[in-house]
């Protein structure tokens, strides 16, 4: 129903207008009739009508003054002046106030009905547009966490197109501008922690939601007990801001004293392409935290300064990251033992050596999980009271990881990437995330993204875009659907974004493509 408020100082006019409207227009409801401008202002505030029929000359506040105050508070209310005055000055003021039409008394019933009917149709169309926009906004809001995690994963493990940066920056309300650092949040498990305890997963989800409220950060997907973050900041301010962020996490985690949280912070990068390096540095910084308790922060820049660029341990840790990234498992095993050998040669205190080795194994476990290795040991307990005992423990733990890795290699589905490709072709119109695709073939998101591109020479996101644009072309050639309907049909939440992607892919806008065909 269209809600109408009538304001006229002559009761006979109010009654006549209400009678005409309710008799000839089924879709209207006269919510109130008033006799002066002040009452009109009060009723408009309480009843919020869609349409206001206003006389000009009324006692107290006149119609034009009342319209000005009402439109200032409720700019969507449409106004029609109903008056016996037709002077040019009144018409000028009415135009400035955004009045939609002017009915001169006395008006014929047909003129009144046609004028109001036209405005009712306009209101209905605007409602429909607003509802469609609200529906689109709701879709986008529901998809934002997925899009954000997806963007972080692609930035750390894949490539991001310029159009993505523009769109993500707008949608997430985050200034995606370098310099930026990668932060790795690591939850360390106490020895007595029940692996089936859902409180850990619940905490990670709560932390994701909490950090997504920041305008200087983008939150990735949880992998094991690791959560990657993209942190955009001014150089020189990162330590102060990250310290505040740790306080935010501490307040969230204080409910469970079993939580031990470490932040590893990679160095600031001026180019987004270098954030993969910052991610590796953050993992190394995280591993350097060792087995400590509480809430701790480690900056990769401090490692370089403390140990020097020529420090053997730091050099081996970098080699460890590189070997894991390129799946050189044999090299990885050798580097772990080289790291232990360096610490023994330098006569590193045993407690410090245990903590560093513990950190290396945590890093190893996390990166194996990223690749897709299942059933890796959840706890790494190192209790050796001598380097000889520490060597024995390290060999046992490495053997456990080696067994898990070899089992993964043996059971790998070599047709998994063809399955993913086919799945994308059949489901591209849905909200497909990297995590969803990885779960479909039981691989890790990172491993799937990396291998899909190696196998087909194109990232899974770009392939999904190809499928969507190809189907969109078919719909345009067939006709019958608006561009907005086509955008939703092929999987886009925002028709404007669809148009930009279409033009970037095809060199033509959707309308240009339609006209050409």
pLDDT tens across 52-103, in order? Answer: 998 888 888 888 888 889 988 998 899 998 887 766 566 667 777 778 888 8
Beta bridge partners of 184: 228, 264
Q: 352: closest CA among 323, 313, 315? A: 313
- Place domain 2-130 in its CATH homologous superfamily: Response regulator (3.40.50.2300)
pLDDT 10s digits, 238-263: 888 888 888 888 887 776 777 778 88
pLDDT at site 326: 65
- Provide the CATH topology of domain 174-307: Alpha-Beta Plaits (3.30.70)
Express as a percent the part of the chain with pLDDT over 90.
Answer: 15
Domain with CATH 1.10.10.60 in the chain: 416-516
CB 340 within 8 A of CB 391: yes
Q: pLDDT band for 41, please (50, 70, 90 cuts).
A: very high
Q: Is the pLDDT of residue 23 over 60?
A: yes
CB 297 within 8 A of CB 247: no
Q: Which residue has the tokens 């009538």?
A: 6
Domain with CATH 3.30.70.270 in the chain: 174-307
State the DSSP H helix or E strand holding residue 321, giving kind and residue range, or none if neither.
helix 312-325
pLDDT 10s digits, 108-139: 889 999 999 999 999 999 888 888 778 777 77
CA gap 424, 418 in Å, rounded: 10
3-state secondary structure of 183: strand
Which is higher by pLDDT, 498 or 360?
Answer: 498
pLDDT at site 489: 92
pLDDT at site 92: 65
pLDDT 10s digits, 449-471: 777 888 888 888 889 999 999 99
Domain with CATH 3.40.50.2300 in the chain: 2-130
pLDDT at site 3: 93
Burial of 341 (0-12, 13-18, 19+ CB in 10 A): middle
Mean pLDDT of 377-403: 83
Cα 439 to Cα 13, 225, 260, 409, 432: the distances in Å are 69, 18, 28, 17, 11
pTM given for the model: 0.56
Q: Is the pLDDT of residue 196 over 50?
A: no
pLDDT 10s digits, 328-365: 778 888 888 888 898 888 888 887 788 778 777 877 77
Q: Is the pLDDT of residue 290 over 90?
A: no
Q: Is the pLDDT of residue 313 over 50?
A: yes
What is the architecture, at CATH level 2, of domain 416-516? Orthogonal Bundle (1.10)
Q: Is the pLDDT of residue 403 over 70?
A: yes
């Amino acid at each position: 129903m269209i809600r109408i408020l009538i304001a006229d100082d002559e009761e006979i006019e109010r009654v006549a207008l209400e009678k005409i409207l309710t008799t000839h227009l089924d879709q209207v409801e006269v919510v109130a009739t008033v006799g002066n401008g002040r009452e009109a202002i009060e009723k408009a505030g309480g009843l919020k009508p869609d349409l206001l029929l206003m006389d000009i000359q009324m006692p107290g506040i006149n119609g034009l003054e009342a319209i000005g105050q009402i439109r200032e508070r409720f700019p969507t209310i449409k106004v029609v002046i109903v008056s016996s005055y037709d002077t040019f000055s009144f018409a000028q003021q009415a135009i400035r106030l955004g009045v939609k039409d002017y009915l001169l008394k006395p008006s014929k019933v047909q003129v009144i009905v046609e004028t109001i009917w036209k405005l009712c149709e306009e209101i209905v169309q605007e409602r429909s547009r607003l509802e469609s926009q609200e529906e689109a906004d709701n879709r986008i809001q529901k998809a934002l966490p997925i899009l954000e995690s997806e963007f972080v994963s692609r930035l750390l493990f894949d490539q991001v197109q310029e159009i993505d940066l523009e769109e993500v920056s707008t949608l997430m309300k985050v200034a995606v501008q370098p310099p930026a650092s990668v932060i790795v949040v690591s939850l360390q498990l106490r020895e007595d922690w029940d692996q089936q305890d859902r409180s850990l997963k619940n905490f990670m989800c709560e932390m994701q939601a909490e950090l997504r409220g920041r305008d200087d950060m983008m939150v990735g997907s949880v992998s094991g007990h690791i959560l990657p973050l993209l942190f955009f900041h001014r150089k020189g301010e990162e330590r102060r801001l990250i310290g505040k962020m740790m306080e935010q996490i501490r307040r969230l985690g204080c409910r469970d004293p079993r939580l031990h949280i470490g932040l590893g912070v990679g160095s600031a990068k001026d180019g987004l392409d270098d954030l993969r390096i910052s991610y590796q540095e953050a993992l190394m910084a995280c591993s350097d935290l060792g087995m400590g308790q509480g809430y701790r922060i480690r900056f990769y820049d401090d490692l370089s300064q403390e140990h020097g660029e020529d420090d053997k341990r730091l050099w081996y840790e970098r080699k460890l990251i590189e070997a894991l990234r390129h799946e050189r498992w044999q090299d990885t095993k050798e580097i772990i033992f080289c790291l232990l050998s360096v610490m023994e040669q330098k006569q590193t205190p045993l407690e410090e050596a245990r903590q560093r080795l513990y950190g290396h194994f945590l890093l190893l476990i996390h990166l194996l999980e990223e690749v897709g290795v299942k059933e890796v040991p959840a706890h790494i307990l190192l209790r050796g009271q001598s380097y000889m005992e520490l060597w024995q423990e390290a060999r046992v733990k490495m053997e456990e990881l080696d067994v898990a890795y070899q089992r993964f290699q043996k059971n790998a589905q070599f047709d998994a990437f063809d399955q993913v490709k086919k799945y994308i072709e059949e489901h591209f119109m849905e909200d497909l995330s990297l995590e969803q695709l990885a779960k479909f073939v039981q691989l890790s998101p990172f491993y799937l993204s990396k291998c899909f591109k190696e196998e087909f020479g194109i990232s899974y996101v770009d392939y999904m875009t190809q499928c969507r644009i190809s189907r969109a072309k078919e719909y345009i050639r067939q006709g019958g659907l608006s561009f907005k309907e086509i955008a939703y049909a092929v999987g886009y939440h925002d028709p404007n974004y669809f148009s930009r992607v279409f033009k970037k892919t095809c060199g033509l806008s959707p309308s240009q493509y339609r006209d050409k065909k």
